[in-house]
Amino acid sequence: MLVNGNVNTSVAGSYTLIYTSTDSSGNTAKVEREITVIKSGWLKENGYWFYYDTKTGIKKTGWLLDGSKWYYLDGNGVMKTGWVLSGGKWYFLEASGAMKTGWLKSGTKWYYLQSSGAMKTGWLKDGGKWYYLENSGAMKTGWLKSAGKWYYLQSSGVMKTGWIQSGGKWYYLYSSGAMAYNTTIGGYKLGADGAWIQ
């Protein structure tokens, strides 16, 4: 593209700049320079966000670390939000596109995203308390059978220990959270189902 005047550096492309100079004797010199303007950084195009490499101008795809935050750009370079499956693991990207870590409420359910951003499943110790996250990642509440033992998770998701009343019956949960059964605790006899035999 030949340019006579100013170059709009916000529009990517190749430009040929022509400089003409005339001295006091009327001699004219002309110099041509080829420049390339590239797209760089975050750009919103047709309602979608893209990221262009600041050195090459190439549209990025996959995971991108920008500053201290991670973003995910799909195969077309579009910045993703919400749940994303990558490398067999689930991640959650906020409305800003930034990857979420820690506790997340999505819909009516709670999830936990590790420091890597990957959704956690199974047992989780957080703040000195135990939680259980199902295969879907959703925080479990109520009774749970894990590795052949019964546990009880409160409405907050926190694993319960000690005496608990559930369904009109009393049960005892050891400090590990596992339900006691076929034993006597503090003079109270517990049956095969763990319930206090009155």
Q: List the alpha helices (DSSP H) in the chain.
A: none
* Residue 181 to residue 86: CA distance in whole angstroms: 43
- In this prediction, residue 2 carries a pLDDT of 46
- In this prediction, residue 1 carries a pLDDT of 42
- In this prediction, residue 36 carries a pLDDT of 67
Q: Return the structure tokens found at 7.
A: 């170059």
- In this prediction, residue 15 carries a pLDDT of 67
Cβ–Cβ < 8 Å for 196, 169:
yes
- In this prediction, residue 27 carries a pLDDT of 81
Residues 6+ apart with CB under 8 A from 2: 15, 16, 18
- In this prediction, residue 21 carries a pLDDT of 78
Cβ–Cβ < 8 Å for 164, 170:
yes
pTM of the model: 0.80
Phi and psi for 194 in degrees, rounded to 5? 90, -15
Residues 6+ apart with CB under 8 A from 104: 92, 110, 111, 112, 113
- In this prediction, residue 68 carries a pLDDT of 96
- In this prediction, residue 7 carries a pLDDT of 59
Question: Along the chain (198 residues), what's the average pLDDT of each consecutive run of 10 residues?
Answer: 55 68 80 75 95 92 97 98 98 98 97 98 98 98 98 98 97 98 96 95
- In this prediction, residue 171 carries a pLDDT of 98
- In this prediction, residue 3 carries a pLDDT of 47
List the helix and strand counts (H, then E) for the chain.
Answer: 0, 19
What domains appear along the chain, each with residue ranges and CATH number?
Answer: 2-37 (no CATH), 40-103 (2.10.270.10), 121-198 (2.10.270.10)
DSSP label at residue 25: T
- Beta-carbon count within 10 A of 138 CB: 19
Phi/psi class of residue 116: alpha, beta or left (left: φ > 0; alpha: ψ in -120 to 50)? alpha
- In this prediction, residue 33 carries a pLDDT of 76
